[in-house]
Amino acid sequence: MYGDCYPDMETYLFYILAAVAVIGTILAITEKHPVHAIVYLVSSFFSLATIFFLLAAPLIAMFEVIIYAGAVMVLFMFVIMMLDLGRTDEAGRPVLKQWLLPILLGGIILASIGVIAAGYASAPSAPGAITVRDFALTLFRKYGVAVEIISMQLLFAVVGALYLGRRRTP
């Protein structure tokens, strides 16, 4: 590529989107109010989706928006609105004792990422955008059995939820 010596538009876009994603996620964690936290997290998902788009994986970008922003977060919001969980006065900030373990685990993860990133050269660029056809062939031919097993597991979860949620006759 001829854009190696100076950063092109995609690089600038990546840094902007990455900053939005990181800041959005941090705000989603520190925000006390659950509905505001959802809005921050959704904006972070959007920047992640656009980053996937820049990485020539449009299908993953769309899944990110449909599944995480469009389904999971909407369900969170539905539950918060339905049960009126938006009370911020009850939620206190965690004290140092509660922070210690997350800081330790986060440190281990960050250190591992640092070691991996230091040891590897940049990955070879993909030969082009991954099409829906490639994705479908890989998923349903190569990993077909795994997909079936996972779908069975989802079925078990649905049956379990149905069992727990059924009306008990006295």
**Contacting positions for other proteins (CB under 8 A):** 3, 8-9, 35-36, 39, 42, 58-59, 61-63, 65-66, 69-71, 74-75, 77-78, 81-82, 86, 129, 131-132
Contact 54, 13 (CB under 8 A): yes
139-163: b (≥16 Cβ within 10 Å) or e: eeeeeeeeeeeeeeeeeeeeeeeee
Residue (25 or 73) nearer to other proteins, CB: 73
Using the minimum distance from each CB to other proteins, give the nearer residue, 20 or 65.
Answer: 65
CB of 66 to other proteins, least distance (A): 5
Cβ 69 to other proteins, closest distance in Å? 6
Cβ proximity to other proteins, 18 vs 71, nearer residue: 71
User: Shortest approach of other proteins to residue 79 CB, angstroms?
Assistant: 10
Q: Judged by CB, which is closer to other proteins: 25, or 60? A: 60
Residue 156: partners with Cβ closer than 8 Å, 6 or more residues away: none
Half-sphere exposure of 61 (CA within 13 A, CB side): 16
| Cα-based angle 51, 114, 101 (whole degrees, multiple of 5) | 100
Q: Are the C-beta atoms of 78 and 67 separated by less than 8 Å? A: no
Q: 2 vs 120, which CB is nearer to other proteins?
A: 2
What is the closest distance, in whole angstroms, from the C-beta atom of residue 147 to other proteins in the complex?
16
Q: How far is the CB of 1 from other proteins (least distance, A)?
A: 9
Give the contacts of 136 (CB within 8 A, at least 6 positions apart): none
